[in-house]
Amino acid sequence: MADDSSVAGGIKETVKTVVYALLIAGIFRTIFFQPFWIPSGSMKDTLLIGDFLFVNKMAYGYSYASCPSIRIPAVGIDIEADDFCGVFKGADKRLFGSDPEVGDVVVFRHPVTGRDFIKRLIGKPGDRIQMKDGLLYINDVAVKVEDGGEFIEPFGLQGPQQSGTACANGAVGEGADCIKYRSYETLPNGVRHAVLNIGDRDLDNTLVFTVPADNFFFMGDNRDNSTDSRVPQTRRGVGFVPREDIVGRADRIMFSSAGRSMLAFWTWRSDRFFKAIE
């Protein structure tokens, strides 16, 4: 039978192991990659609800936003990046920094709420961005658009958050075909990507947005179902995103599940495993 000293020693070693593991995980997540689940359909069909990816934090250098957030609602834990690294907020430069390129799929912290968002970069500082009749203009020139046919998915609630689906063909029955119109945009630097549309919406026509210095303009690929820089900055709108709020670049989908849980293996989308993000 073990004496008290050996039991205490075993507990001490276990605690040390856990602490070291947490430190290593924290350093890895802060410096290299951050895991990210896609919770909404704002980036369809580039990213689907239930896609899992790692955000490359090395791509654009580091700011306060590089520090991890820890949210476990079940036990009331909600620690923001500001809580860890708020002392660095407001810094003019990013450490080892470089700016994202137009067309990059980027994770950033919402300027008001601090929550992580993922959108496509459309405008850099000084760019003029406008939507006219659903067509994107960058610096007063319309982007090239090609028809991409229809994007079809089952109508109904999706993912752990049970997000709804909006369809160009109206509110069809549960499990019926929900149709969106797909097209392909080619941005001025040659990046070509898919966008989805449902029909005429308020954000299909906007004023001209001139991107301020040290800020960026983001949009979702699912144009009629995306809260992005077209909506003024509030707790719901995004507006212009400061450089310091950028977290990193999304390069590749590692795993994908169409179900409410990743354990539901029959809902896994094996054709999306390790898929490059374009």
Residues assigned a catalytic role = 42, 119
Exposed/middle/buried for 199, CB within 10 Å: 0-12, 13-18, 19+? middle
Place of tokens 């689906």: 165
Q: Which secondary structure element, helix H or strand E, spans residue 31, and what is its range?
A: helix 4-31
d(CA 99, CA 132): 27
| Sequence-separated (6 or more) residues with CB below 8 Å from residue 253 | 47, 51, 52, 53, 272, 273, 274, 275, 276, 277
Query: DSSP secondary-structure letter at 268?
Result: B
Residue corresponding to tokens 């203009």: 137
List the beta bridge partners of residue 51. Answer: 256
Q: What are phi and psi of 252, to 5 degrees?
A: -155, 140
Q: Residue 244 in 3-state DSSP? A: helix
Q: Strands 51-56 and 246-256, how do they pair? A: antiparallel
d(CA 87, CA 57): 19
Task: Classify 225 as helix, strand or coil.
Answer: helix
Question: How many angstroms separate the CA atoms of 192 and 172, rounded?
Answer: 31
Tell how far CA 103 is from the center of its chain: 13
Residue that is written with structure tokens 């995103």 in the block: 241
Whether residue 123 contacts residue 116, with contact meaning beta carbons closer than 8 Å, is answered with no
